[in-house]
Chains A and B, each alone.
Chain A
Amino acid sequence: MKKKLLLATLVCTVTASLAWADINVGVSVSATGPAASLGIPEKNTFALMPTSIAGQKINYIVLDDASDTTKAVTNAKKLTSEDKVDALLGSTTTPNSLAMIDVAAESETPMISMAASSKIIEPMDAKRRWVFKTPQNDAQMAIAIAEHMARAGIKSVAFIGFNDAYGEGWWGEFSKAAEANKIKVVGNERYNRSDQSVTGQVLKLMSANPEAVLIAGSGTPSATPAVGLKEKGYKGIIYQTHGVANNDFLRVGGKDVEGTWLPAGPVLVATQLPDSNPLKKSALEYIAKYEAAYGAGSVSTFGAHAWDAGLLLANAVPIALKKAKPGTKEFRAALRDALEMTKEVHGAHGVFNMSATDHLGFDKRAAVMVKIENNKWKLAQ
């Protein structure tokens, strides 16, 4: 009797899932480990995403990869082979996203990454055909900084970055951008996210006497060199990357990060954008949704990358639904094609106009220069 009942239940579940054929979206984010400050707002954002698109129910299966490359690959394999997801979102960091590309390509599942490096989508090849991303490329932000420096008349700059892929990536892009703008790079140092002290690096940078210093780190750890520089009496201009754009950075940095310049997605200063800016509405919408759920002042630009990934999907799913049924190989291919055709989608960070060669599709509108004034983000005019 018991066995029969079990069998009946099984049959019911199987038929039920066949009859509905929801769209399954697999997500892998770094909600714990070193990248947790980026991964947690991303994870929170998935709870705000639409539960149905064009009348189809959407299931988000969110897994944590602990900022670990191996775990990200395991997650991606599990999502594509066991859960048979129609799209793969993730991961938070560049190394994890790079590692997931193989899985996405092998299982022919479109993937949208929330990590910064342009290496995720360039150079375009058979594997990266399946991969898209939402954050601004490092190169774009590095050029924004170098151009800002050139306009300010800065001739020499020193660089200090994380001793990992983030710092290395920025060093590569920024040294190129600086050279293009005829700025001399006089120092290149590394530090670790968890270092108690950066006195050695700071003294070395200051002995080269640069007019400006660029700190390439993310979240609160990038306040450490800034505090060190101020403490040792550095008088030049300090630049940060868009990796610092959350309120915890202001809290930890306090008065020591006053006057710092950084490039950022428009969402950081959404309320200050002129009404004519096409991104103001979409950015404010995300902020309102996030803060309604998690409290005022809780929003960060990292979660907005996840939100943009959701927008891309919401735009592409209806087109793909016309061609095939969710859960099939054909649907995934149709979804990929639809993503590549994305035109004029207004996200929180920029306007997406994708093509076969550009799987990000941002233009200059996706980066604004921001200055920290009175412990607040201030849009530069």
Chain B
Amino acid sequence: MTARSFLRFATAAILISGFAHPHTYAQAPADSKPQAFIGARLIPISGPAIDRGILIIENGKITAIGPEGSTAIPSGAARHDVAGKVIMPGLVDTHSHVGGPGGADGSAPIQPGVRVMDSLNPLDSGYRRVVAGGITTANVMPGSGHLLSGQTVYLKMRRPDGKPPRTIDQMFIQGADGKPSGGIKMANGTNSIGQPPFPGSRGKSAFLVREQFIKAQEYNAKIKSATGADGKLDETKLPARDLGLEALIDAMEGRKIVHHHTHRADDIMTVLRLRDEFGFRVVLHHVSEAWKVADQIAAAEKEGGVLGSSIILVDSPGGKLEAAEVSFITGASLAKAGARFAYHTDDWITDSRLFLRMAALGVRGGLSRDLALRALTLSGAELLDLQDRIGSLQTGKDADFIILSGDPLSVYTKVEQTWVEGRMVFNRADPSDHLHQVGGYSAGRDQSPYFCCFGGAGQ
């Protein structure tokens, strides 16, 4: 796509999506007064832990981090005594279904034009649990009942005016193009297999995907040929707009990452094969059997295009055939192969409040503590192209962090506070926040994710 035609698409997308005023989802201004968090053990992820450290934030950004004694506290800074606590970056959940996402419907197995952001309820109590679990950024996705169930959206758990957001656009993470950032959700294996028009086999699944991407390539070629050698666009040569194919072009040209649900080792290899053919950038999600093909995944990452894996751990294997060999060792085996990986909640498959636990189970499966904590933060950010903004405690990054009562990997540790862009968005000492952290009457979420068609039409 030429820069010009891309601009045309971008502008059109902004107009059509009703976001003619990008500032409506720009970062809300944070308190401008600097704040100093003094005395906690700091786990920056990007470097070694600091036993008694100082973290300074201002205007929603981290402005300083270092050991107590050698880190200056700006005059006029609000001081928080957090001695005895642990501070680490806000957790990044690379795969969540919180807020009642409803992507593609039952009419077709491939629906790239559908955006999950058009379905979310920001008032869903699920978002209260997300921050109670220390998660500050989440990739909210449609389900896995389709080969391609739509566009995902990356959300920040902001409280623009100290209150939970009332509109979803207050939560968007604005990309460089001025649009809400997100990826494309795809799936293979059994979830997306069903009755026609859904595929009935793995071979058919891959065929349908290839057919669609080839259509997008041809569509893209037409768009490109509408611009002459002189650089002039002949609008009469442009094909009719196709929102689905536009999204696939976004994927093939690297603007949107493909987030690909895939469990079995052979299904993982199929994703890599399709990536080779169409050149999209891809994150492998769930990867129950990644431990069987860790070397192949690592090799694919080196070749480029594969950003890494996003792992789910569950308390027992099975529940469906392709998860029968899910194992706590997945993280450790990918680490050994030199592959990049993060963890995710897949909320509601696992609860956002227990996200720290996921990494701890990875350690139980042989992973190092450092990599486990990285897999909850910076690695996740890398899998969303957000590593320049979030995922570690570094000067210049968003002031997204959590204050813990102790060791992040201990069952006894509590998330005491969650901060996003310089504002506290969760405080365990607040009765309402406490209710959402532990549960209780009226803490229930009000909307379940829409998981068409897996378990429904597809069965």
Asked if A and B are interacting partners, one says: no
Residues of B within 8 A of A (CB): none
